[in-house]
């Protein structure tokens, strides 16, 4: 489609307009390359139209224009023009690569959704596409800039979409793309996406708020003018130069503050905001002093983001003052360069072509974050887990902390000492056992606050605790803990699977260790495993049944050589049950329905993905399990087990004052702890107590029962087994 064919769309941004814009900062040859990409894209999208009826090529051109306003390089502009050809046409990546080079092809591929794979749900597809885009962004940050420009134009034109799709896209924008823009410091784009998202998701609320802002703006003019005049007069008196700008609060920030803090519109809109742009950092601090002399500062509301920049590289001085008539005044003070970076973030690298320290800080912080994204990807089990972890990382309401050497670490608000340990280094996190916060020894779950000095105490043999997942805040900590636990479960599963297969083989053949590699290889090939440990892990997790795998081992030439009598003799061998010691970890668990303890007759049930669940052989639930006899595993207790197990007791006691305290004391004296207790009054005279307590074995439980029977208040006592 040529430019001449688009004359019927007068509001459309034409390729000639794009080229004119690009000529202001690109060479003639580079502009010609962009035009060549346009011709390719127009031909590929020929016949395709947007919901509004416009030719589809209007969208890629609009995306390219957004990037051109950021003064992006010509490869990015070409990729923007071509960004939908892989996804929406029959064009393949290799075609783009041969025509426009590998760099452009990689950028286009990075923003293209995965269309050739079927997913179980829309959520899974969205997560996998997000994962693909983020990994492409790690390789080249321009991928996300193109995607953000694409989303911005889609949000600007979202009005033609049906309501349900409009809400879904707006929700995704506010949950993913707005935090991404914020994380990259692209404030101007973030604010527009927020306001567009609010209007699409809650059109009535947005309209009411907009009308309220217009009405309130007129009543505020006199106060704003008076404050602005006072600020300029004070700057002149102090011989300070600075541009004073009144800041208008955006609809989404008003809406969010009203919602989160349960404030009325007037309470939010009564804050008067100003920005003062100065020439250098020294002037910024002098202006701050002048403002604190002009109006009294609100205690605790001053923030120095120049000395300690935000995670996205943002730098500014923030203060809140008591203004005339008692109105609060928010003031931001920053240099011109800081203001450029604050508005454009990582895009300022292309927009201003400056080597200023602020830009370098933004790039350095972005690279550090992208490195963390790569770490999260490596330890995430699937796309859903990956997107969950990255979302945690995208909402950094920060706290600023110090290491004992005085280095600054920035973590999300609510982060704990474990998060701090992982932020220092993964190995520090994996081996931490305690922490000192401002020289005081405190628990690892202690939330951290700005200004604290944190020292992590480690131990060489220490390992991550699964309970940490209940309180860690950062994606890096969460993904590393989960990764360790998965590996631990894998190791335990391999060990248990080896025991189970060895036991199954001993019934009909020989132990696993006596099999040679060439005898094992055909079995692995049949089950499609590369290594024996992968097969053993699946047996341990209950995904493969040991007896069936054992049969595969003997279905070869050796089996045919065995005489019938010898096989019969082997089958009649006494089979030793699998010994349970209670320390097998996550691949052996104990049923909560019957709480088996050492001394009980027990039986195991292989459960897919969970390993073996141990029940007492009298458990009522085993009736259902016995229908699947191939999953039942003969087990027994290993002698000399030294750990606590849970057991359930039911007591009928007389309603007397202090009876619970006496029973609890008796249990404690018998070296046991009460884990849970439930009470129900029966007839006004007697109360039933269901107590879950810790015991070492049946003998220990018997001693506790005998001790409780000596209490005259106890009329009946029995162990519950389901």
* Confidence band for 560, pLDDT divided at 50, 70 and 90: very low
467-479 pLDDT, tens digit each: 788 888 887 888 8
CB atoms under 10 Å from CB of 310, counted, come to 21
- Tally helices (H) and strands (E) across the chain: 31, 21
**E strand intervals along 173-269:** 243-247
Residue 382, pLDDT score:
57
b/e map 64-85, b = 16+ CB within 10 Å = bbbbbebbbebbbbbbbbbbbb
The alpha carbon torsion through 121, 125, 131, 135 (nearest 10 deg) reads 160
635 within 8 A of 578, measured Cβ to Cβ: yes
**Tokens of residue 275, six digits:** 């920005």
pLDDT for position 91: 85
pLDDT grade for 516, boundaries at 50, 70 and 90 = confident
User: For the chain, what percent of residues have pLDDT higher than 90?
Assistant: 16
CB-based contact 694:716 (threshold 8 Å) = no
Residue 383 reports pLDDT greater than 90 = no
Is the pLDDT score of 131 beyond 70? no
DSSP state for residue 175 in the 8-state scheme: I
Q: How confident is the model at residue 386 (pLDDT cuts 50, 70, 90)?
A: low
Residues 606, 366: Cα–Cα separation, whole Å:
47
442: exposed, middle or buried (Cβ count in 10 Å: 0-12, 13-18, 19+): middle
CA–CA gap between residue 495 and residue 500 (Å, rounded):
9
Tell me which residue of 609, 606, 607, 614 sits closest to 635, measured CA to CA: 614
CA–CA dist 417, 435 (Å, integer): 7
Residue 586: pLDDT band (50, 70, 90) is low
Select the more confidently predicted residue: 631 or 191. 191
Lowest mean pLDDT of 33-47, 326-340, 383-397, 481-495, name the range: 383-397
- What's the CA gap between 409 and 423, in Å, rounded? 8
Tell me the Ramachandran region of residue 314: left when phi exceeds 0, alpha when psi lies from -120 to 50, beta otherwise.
Answer: beta
The candidate with the shortest Cα–Cα distance to 294, out of 333, 262, 342, 260, is: 333
Distance CA(300)–CA(239), nearest Å, equals 28
The pLDDT tens digits for 82-103 are 988 888 888 888 889 889 998 8
Of 114-128, 167-181, 198-212, 261-275, the one with minimum mean pLDDT is 114-128
Tokens of 686: 């007697």
pTM of the predicted model, to two decimals? 0.55
Give the count of beta carbons closer than 10 Å to the beta carbon of residue 180.
23
Annotated catalytic residue 87: yes
Pick the residue with more confidence: 61 or 578?
A: 61
Q: How far apart are CA 545 and CA 501, in angstroms?
A: 9
How many Å apart are CA 501 and CA 486, to the nearest integer?
22
DSSP run (H or E) holding 220: helix 203-237
Angle subtended at Cα 81 by Cα 80 and Cα 87, rounded to the nearest 5 degrees:
80
Which ranges of 509-597 does DSSP label H, i.e. alpha helix?
A: 517-527, 532-540, 546-554, 557-561, 564-571
**28-44 vs 15-22: helix crossing angle, rounded to 10:** 160
pLDDT of residue 626: 61
- In the set 17, 73, 88, 238, the catalytic residue is 88
Q: According to the model, what pLDDT value does residue 235 have?
A: 92
**How far is it, in rounded angstroms, from Cα 575 to Cα 62?**
74
CA distance 14 to 20: 10
CB-CB neighbours of 467 under 10 Å:
10
What is the rounded CA–CA span in Å between residue 236 and residue 246?
Answer: 18
Give Rg (Cα) of the chain: 34
- How is residue 24 annotated by DSSP? T
- In the chain, what percentage of residues exceed pLDDT 70? 79
Read off the pLDDT band of 563 (50, 70, 90).
very low
In Å, how far from its chain's centre is CA 259? 24
Quote the pLDDT of residue 70: 83
Predicted pLDDT of residue 172: 85
Do you know the residue count of the chain? 722
- Lookup: tokens for 501: 């297969």
Q: Regarding predicted confidence, which is higher, 11 or 190?
A: 190
Helix (H) or strand (E) holding 38: helix 28-44
Tokens standing for residue 144: 């996300």
From 73, 87, 172, 519, the catalytic residue: 87
Distances (CA, A) of 147 to 135, 137, 144, 173, 538: 13, 10, 5, 11, 41
Q: What pLDDT, on the 0 to 100 scale, is given for residue 119?
A: 41
SS3 319: strand
The pLDDT of residue 126: 63
Residue with tokens 């290993």: 638
pLDDT, one tens digit per residue, over 614-664 is 888 888 777 766 666 667 777 888 887 878 888 999 999 888 888 888 898
The mean of the pLDDT values for the chain is 79
* Three-state DSSP state, 238: coil
Distance CA 709, CA 568 (A): 53
Instruction: State residue 357's pLDDT score.
Output: 46
Strands 328-335 and 272-278: parallel
Q: Report pLDDT digits (tens) over 264-299.
A: 887 776 678 899 999 999 999 999 999 999 999 988
Token duo for residue 662: 């006496």
Which has the minimum average pLDDT: 46-50, 132-136, 453-457, 702-706?
Answer: 132-136
Q: Which domains does the chain have, with CATH numbers?
A: 3-156 (1.10.3210.10), 483-637 (no CATH), 645-720 (3.30.70.260)
Segment among 340-354, 397-411, 481-495, 510-524 with least mean pLDDT: 340-354
Range in 235-239, 306-310, 505-509, 684-688 the model is least confident about: 505-509
Task: Name which of 546, 544, 608, 623 is nearest 577 in CA terms.
Answer: 546
- Which is nearest to 276 in space by CA: 328, 322, 219, 236? 236
Q: Where are the beta strands (DSSP E) in 147-250?
A: 243-247
- Residue 298 CB contacts under 8 Å (≥ 6 apart), including other chains: 319, 320, 321, 322, 328
Alpha carbons 156 and 107: distance in angstroms, whole number: 23
Q: Note the pLDDT of residue 684.
A: 72
Q: How far apart are CA 272 and CA 428, in angstroms?
A: 46
pLDDT band at 522 (very low <50, low <70, confident <90, very high): confident
Q: pLDDT band for position 331 (50/70/90)?
A: very high
* Contact status, residue 499 vs residue 588, Cβ threshold 8 Å: no
Q: What are phi and psi of 235, to 5 degrees?
A: -60, -40
Minimal CA–CA distance to 155: which of 207, 208, 200?
Answer: 200
Inform me whether the pLDDT recorded for 508 exceeds 70.
no
> Helix, strand, or coil here: 416?
strand
Q: How far is C-alpha 246 from the chain's CA centre?
A: 37
512 in Cβ contact with 491 (< 8 Å): no
Rounded Cα–Cα distance for residues 180 and 260 (Å): 21
Do the beta carbons of residue 92 and residue 50 sit within 8 Å? no
What pLDDT, on a 0 to 100 scale, did the predictor assign at position 200? 92
Rounded CA separation 550/391 (Å): 45
Mean pLDDT (whole number) for 195-206: 92
Question: Phi/psi of residue 590, each to 5°?
Answer: -110, 130
Q: Are 247 and 273 in contact (CB under 8 A)?
A: yes
């Amino acid at each position: 489609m040529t430019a001449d064919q688009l004359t019927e769309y007068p509001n459309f941004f034409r390729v000639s307009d794009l080229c004119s814009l690009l000529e202001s900062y690109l060479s003639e040859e580079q502009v010609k390359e962009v035009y060549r990409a346009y011709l390719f894209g127009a031909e590929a999208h020929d016949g395709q139209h947007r919901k509004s009826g416009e030719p589809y090529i209007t969208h890629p051109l609009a995306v390219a224009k957004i990037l051109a306003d950021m003064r992006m390089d010509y490869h990015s502009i070409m990729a923007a023009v071509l960004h939908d050809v892989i996804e929406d046409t029959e064009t393949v990546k290799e075609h783009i690569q041969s025509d426009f080079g590998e760099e452009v092809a990689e950028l286009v591929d990075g923003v293209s959704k995965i269309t050739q794979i079927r997913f179980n749900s829309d959520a899974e597809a969205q997560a996998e596409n997000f994962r693909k885009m983020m990994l492409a962004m790690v390789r080249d940050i321009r991928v996300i800039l193109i995607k953000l420009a694409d989303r911005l134009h889609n949000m600007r034109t979202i009005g033609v979409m049906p309501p349900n799709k409009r809400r879904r896209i707006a929700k995704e924008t506010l949950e993913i793309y707005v935090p991404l823009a914020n994380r990259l410091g692209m404030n101007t784009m973030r604010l527009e996406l927020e306001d567009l998202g609010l209007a699409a998701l809650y059109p009535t609320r947005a309209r009411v708020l907009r009308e309220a802002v217009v009405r309130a703006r007129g009543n505020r003019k006199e106060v704003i003018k008076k404050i602005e005049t006072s600020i300029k007069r004070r700057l002149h008196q102090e011989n300070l130069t600075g541009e004073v700008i009144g800041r208008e609060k955006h609809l989404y920030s008003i809406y969010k503050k009203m919602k989160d803090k349960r404030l009325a519109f007037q309470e939010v809109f009564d804050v008067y905001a100003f920005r003062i742009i100065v020439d250098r950092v020294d002037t910024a601090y002098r202006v701050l002093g002048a403002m604190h002399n002009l109006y009294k500062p609100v205690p605790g509301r001053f923030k120095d983001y120049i000395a300690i920049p935000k995670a996205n590289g943002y730098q500014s001085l923030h203060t809140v003052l008591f203004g005339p008539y008692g109105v609060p005044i928010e003031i931001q003070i920053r240099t011109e360069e800081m203001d450029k970076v604050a508005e454009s973030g990582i895009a300022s690298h292309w927009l201003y072509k400056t080597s200023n320290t602020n830009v370098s800080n933004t790039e350095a912080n972005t690279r550090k974050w992208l490195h963390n994204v790569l770490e999260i990807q490596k330890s995430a089990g699937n796309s859903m887990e990956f997107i969950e972890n990255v979302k945690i990382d995208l909402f950094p309401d920060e706290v600023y902390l110090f290491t004992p050497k005085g280095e600054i670490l920035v973590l999300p608000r609510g982060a704990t000492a474990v998060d701090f340990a992982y932020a220092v280094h993964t190995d520090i996190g994996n081996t931490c056992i305690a922490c000192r916060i401002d020289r005081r020894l405190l628990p690892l779950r202690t939330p951290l606050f700005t200004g604290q000095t944190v020292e992590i105490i480690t131990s060489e043999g220490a390992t991550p605790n699964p309970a940490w997942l209940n309180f860690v805040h950062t994606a890096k900590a969460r993904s590393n803990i989960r990764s360790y636990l998965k590996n631990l479960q894998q190791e335990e599963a391999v060990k248990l699977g080896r025991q189970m297969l060895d036991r199954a083989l001993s019934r009909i053949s020989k132990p696993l260790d006596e099999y040679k590699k060439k005898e094992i290889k055909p079995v692995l090939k049949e089950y499609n495993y590369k290594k024996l440990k992968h097969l053993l892990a699946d047996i341990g997790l209950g995904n493969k049944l040991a007896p069936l795998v054992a049969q595969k081992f003997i279905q070869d030439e050796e089996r045919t050589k065995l005489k019938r009598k010898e096989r019969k003799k082997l089958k009649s061998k006494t089979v030793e049950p699998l010994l349970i010691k209670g320390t097998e970890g996550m691949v052996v668990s104990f049923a909560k329905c019957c709480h088996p303890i050492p001394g009980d007759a027990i039986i195991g049930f292989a459960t897919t993905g969970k390993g073996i669940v141990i029940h007492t052989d009298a458990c009522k639930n085993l009736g259902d399990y016995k229908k699947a006899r191939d999953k039942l595993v003969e087990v027994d207790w290993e002698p000399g087990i030294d750990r606590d197990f849970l057991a359930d007791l039911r007591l009928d006691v007389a309603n007397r004052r202090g009876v619970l305290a006496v029973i609890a004391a008796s249990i404690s004296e018998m070296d046991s702890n009460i884990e849970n207790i439930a009470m129900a009054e029966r007839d006004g005279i007697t109360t039933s107590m269901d107590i879950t307590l810790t015991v070492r074995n049946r003998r220990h439980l018997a001693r506790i029962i005998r001790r409780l029977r000596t209490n005259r208040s106890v009329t009946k006592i029995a162990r519950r087994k389901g």
